[in-house]
Amino acid sequence: GQNIDQPTEMTATEGAIVQINCTYQTSGFNGLFWYQQHAGEAPTFLSYNVLDGLEEKGRFSSFLSRSKGYSYLLLKELQMKDSASYLCAVSNTGGFKTIFGAGTRLFVKA
């Protein structure tokens, strides 16, 4: 089966750096996604990792270790608008099914 774990909530300060962790167990692996979702809105794509290592995209970076079943999303220079839920999602072999974690709700305070 598939299982994805991420913290329920995190709080960080504007301008700081925050790391959101995700661990997963999956039967077959075809990549890991991070999405951002503001309350009541649709998720939007942030990053995709299929090989081990760090992918950097502006203020956001995502890391993957396939052997450890572990990923993290790093957000730098936090802004108030970064307050949202961050969803870790794993695509299984063949990519036919993408399973989402419950999401980490990030609160950015002034």
Residues 36-65 binding another protein (CB under 8 A) are 40-45, 48, 50
**What is the rounded distance in angstroms from the CA atom of residue 63 to the CA atom of residue 73?**
7
Residues 63-102 binding another protein (CB under 8 A) are 87, 89, 91, 94-102
**What is the rounded distance in angstroms from the CA atom of residue 33 to the CA atom of residue 101?**
10
For residue 91, the one-letter residue type is S
Partners of 70 in the β-ladder: 23, 65
Inter-CA distances, 84 with 26, 54, 91, 97, Å: 26, 22, 22, 24
Contact letters (x/-) for another protein, 3-42, by CB under 8 A? ---------------------------xx-x------xxx
Which residue, 50 or 80, is less far from another protein as judged by CB?
A: 50
Instruction: Please report, as ranges, the residues that interact with another protein according to CB under 8 A.
Output: 30-31, 33, 40-45, 48, 50, 87, 89, 91, 94-103
